[in-house]
Structure 1
Amino acid sequence: MNPADPPRPVGLLRRHRDFRLLWFGETTGKFGSSVTSLAMPLIAVTTLHASTLEVSLLSAAGWLPWLLIGLPVGVWVDRMRCRPIMIAASAVSLVLLLSVPTAAHAGLLTMAQLLLVVLVTGAAGVFFQTAYTAYLPGLLDPADRAEGNAKLHGSASAAQIVGLGSGGAIAQLLGPVNGLLADAATFLISLCATARIRHREPVREAAPRRALFREIGEGLRLVAGDAWFRSLTLFGACSNLALTGYQTILVVFLVREVGLDSGLVGVLVAAASSGGIVGATLARRVAARIGTARTMLLFESGLSLPALLIPLTGRGTGLALYVLGAFGVSAGVVGGNVLKSTFQQHYCPPELLGRLTASSAVLNYGTIPVGALAGGLLGTALGLRPAMWILTAGVPLGSLILWFSPVRRCRDLPTEPMAEPKPPGTPAVAAAVPVAG
């Protein structure tokens, strides 16, 4: 918050101009990204007649940059100002997405181009997401961060619902390729909103510039050496493996196995994604009653069980099984993310937040390409429905990690900052003691 900004009542973030711009830009970008997440596999399946394995490669390509560049990006974000990084990442994504309809209308679109666009926009997303996560705590007062995270995650889920629904309608009315024009427009809006934010990060104290790999090591040691970060990261990695596995072949499953058209696929996925709004809305309220750690366990573990309904999806009333199953998963994931984001912003030293974000994301998102490839391989080898059974079963199984972590043994996640990290080469140690519940 700029010193020049007038005092603001705690909790009234709608009056916070810079937060409104960030909120609007991020929500708009999520809307466009959700259109793309549906449009890209539909383009591959209906326009380029891609195989199940090729569709899974497309999904894997979007997350592969986290494995390739995620760790150094965390260091670079900690060294640089975040807002210019976010603006540049949005501009790159805008140009690349416009190249797909341009090539398609010229009759030159290929699967190789789709893979390249997804790969490079994924790399831009690594920069944007890491910078955005490190930028938010400096924009908001500590007391407002929980509310800010809830608003951002809830709006992102709402934007995803509208994007998926409209993405299916656009694909049916105008063709899947034109869905990317909507996404390109949203990146332009997001870019303009971010550029109008007045908040400027304070000049960081000059620190000795150490070797890149040494600073990367600090981030990895922070995740590995702290029981809270380690548990949440391992859970995220296993959960994403299963989630991405079944979501990668979901469009193919609904179109080819269940027999739905593009428009209905978008409507169903949008309806199921509404669970994210419910999760974001209820997470803070439930946490206030039973504690943040217990709420995380409830959302991430209890609400993952309905995933087992998804493979039972069929035509007619059988479509409700997909909606119920995916609704529960969406509510659990988004609600858990609200709690996790707020916890990390309070618990992690600000000067290490970029490296923490990147290090945990590399491990969390690094399993996503593996899950995507596993989905394609299992769908090809065993068939789509058997593959869905195997992959959806992994969602509740992954939550067992939380049952053997400090999360199960306490009522609340730590709210005080962890002890200052020790000098390079010394593992970080958790400073908070779990409260018996």
Structure 2
Amino acid sequence: MEAHRSIKGHNDFRYLWLARVSSQLGSAVGMVALPIIAVTVVEASTFEVALISVCAAVATATLAFPLGHFVEFRRKRPVMITTDVIRFGSLLSVPVVGYLGLLSVAQLCVVSALNAACQIAFSSASQSHLKSLVSRDRLVDANGRLEATNWLSLSVGPSIAGALIAVVKALGGVVVNAAAFVFSAIAVWRIRTSEPDPPVPEATDSRRTELLAGFHYAWRYPAMRRMLISWVVFAGCVSMTTPATTIFYLRDLEFSAVEYGLLMGIPSLGGFLGARATLRAVNRLGQVRTVWWSSLLRGPWYFMIPLFGATMSGPLWCGIGFFAVLLFSGLNNSAMAGFRQLNTPDHLLTRVATLWSFATTISQPLFILVGGLLATWLGARETLFITASLLTLSAFLVPRNDSRSPESQPERHAVG
């Protein structure tokens, strides 16, 4: 079994980490601020508020593969800096136009779509660049730290956004949001390790073949294909719980707004802890078995929510259950990202990474719709039992080992 080392002390990784922190916190603030601006400044209708989110989803669905192909064959750091500059400019336009009294739903839709597209490009570029920035034996710990940061931003980001908006108002919050992307661009610019030349596309490949190359590679790789299917089912089922959980917490159990907010935020710390445990788990079990065990252990905890939510200590049990689900999810996501990077040829890294985002974005609306219908027909508690069962069963789609023989493994490039 290959040994993996800590990334501690790697200065250039620290700059990439700072860029990701700034980008993710900026996105968290924007995710809260834009709907508030739509309601309080533009006085948008419910449909118009939903339309802003729809524009982001449509941008992701339609641009994921083209952007993945575009980023694949370009240097990654200039792409990251450019997307930060675009997000800075688009977000700064909101308070500028807002203070002039000319802000509209149409502009908010454009800003939402632009930021979604830039987020795809930034994320795929940073994941691909990570493999050339750190050595192979430090890649697992690097992914664990980035994943931990992601979970931490999910936990504290909305809270920071709420406090910030309360002090400087929604338009002022967007100014701070825009500034975060400037900080991210500076952090990327400070990376000093020489970036290798980007891969060159094969002249014989058709446009369609190039766009779908990441999908074709992942689908022909048995372990990666099963991980992708399991991930889509798991992420979709988590989305399916959204309407049922909201109804169950607020209407059936009559949790207060404070209890609801805490249950949505604090358990994300479980994801942070799980991601930080990735290096130790992978060194002990190996990558594929870490993905398998974490998949097996993440689902059953969700049964605690419908089983014990109605008790006197319901909020505590719900929090523990959700915390444990996210604990093993953080471990799973980090190990799976490392497996993808170590087992994907360099010229396909960006497109394979984009595939995960695309598959999740396409499937989530359908799962959310199904969850809403089930909650309407069967009730919130019954729906949560169904989704908890599906979350648990998704683990059995994950392989227990990588069945590929050594000679059929994908090309691997040593990095310094």
Q: Same fold (TM over 0.5)?
A: yes
How far apart are the structure 1 equivalents of 2:40 and 2:309? 22
Distance 1:71 1:97, change over 3 A: same
CA contact (8 A) 2:199 2:347 kept: no
Q: Aligned pair 1:329/2:322, yes or no? A: no
How far apart are the structure 2 equivalents of 1:157 and 1:55? 26
Q: Aligned pair 1:390/2:390, yes or no? A: no
Measure how far apart 1:221 and its partner are. 1.5
Which residue of the partner structure matches residue 403 of structure 1? 396
How far apart are the structure 1 equivalents of 2:317 and 2:106? 35
**Percent of pairs with identical residues:** 25
Which residue of the partner structure matches residue 33 of structure 1? 27
Note the aligned Cα RMSD (angstroms): 3.6
| CA-to-aligned-CA distance 1:90-148 (integer Å, 9 cap, x gap) | 11222222333445445554544433322221111111111111111000100110111
Query: What is the TM-score of this pair, normalised by structure 2?
Result: 0.82
Note the 1:12-51 alignment, pairs <5 A: 13-42=7-36, 48=43, 51=46
How far apart are the structure 2 equivalents of 1:259 and 1:12? 42
SS at match of 2:150: helix
Q: Which moved more, 1:366-375 or 1:337-346?
A: 366-375
| CA-to-aligned-CA distance 1:337-385 (integer Å, 9 cap, x gap) | 110011111111111112222234322332134345556x649x939x9
CA contact (8 A) 2:94 2:108 kept: yes
Which residue of the partner structure matches residue 301 of structure 1? 296
Measure how far apart 1:389 and its partner are. 5.6
1:154 counterpart (145, 148, 151)? 148
CA contact (8 A) 1:134 1:353 kept: yes
Distance 1:179 1:394, change over 3 A: farther
Note the 1:100-179 alignment, pairs <5 A: 100-179=94-173
Which residue of the partner structure matches residue 419 of structure 1? 409
- The number of residues matched between the two structures is 404
Which residue of the partner structure matches residue 414 of structure 2? none
Which residue of the partner structure matches residue 236 of structure 1? 231
Kindly provide the amino acid, as one letter, of the partner of residue 132 in structure 1.
S
Which residue of the partner structure matches residue 71 of structure 2? 77
Which residue of the partner structure matches residue 360 of structure 2? 364
CA contact (8 A) 1:240 1:371 kept: no
CA contact (8 A) 1:55 1:248 kept: no
CA contact (8 A) 1:34 1:163 kept: yes
Distance 1:401 1:327, change over 3 A: closer
CA contact (8 A) 2:140 2:278 kept: no
Which residue of the partner structure matches residue 224 of structure 1? 219
SS at match of 1:30: helix
CA contact (8 A) 1:157 1:276 kept: yes
CA contact (8 A) 2:84 2:184 kept: yes
Kindly provide the amino acid, as one letter, of the partner of residue 319 in structure 2.
V
Q: Which consecutive unaligned segments of at least 5 residues does structure 1 have?
A: 1-9, 422-437
SS at match of 2:409: coil
How far apart are the structure 1 equivalents of 2:34 and 2:245? 13
1:348 counterpart (344, 348, 351)? 344
Distance 1:330 1:180, change over 3 A: farther
Q: Which moved more, 1:109-118 or 1:134-143?
A: 109-118
Which residue of the partner structure matches residue 272 of structure 1? 267
Measure how far apart 1:204 and its partner are. 4.4
How far apart are the structure 1 equivalents of 2:379 and 2:356? 31
How far apart are the structure 1 equivalents of 2:48 and 2:385? 21
Q: Aligned pair 1:193/2:175, yes or no? A: no
Distance 1:304 1:389, change over 3 A: same
| CA-to-aligned-CA distance 1:9-40 (integer Å, 9 cap, x gap) | x9463432211100111112222222333444
Query: What is the TM-score of this pair, normalised by structure 1?
Result: 0.78
Measure how far apart 1:302 and its partner are. 2.1
How far apart are the structure 2 equivalents of 1:193 and 1:233? 32
Kindly provide the amino acid, as one letter, of the partner of residue 214 in structure 1.
T
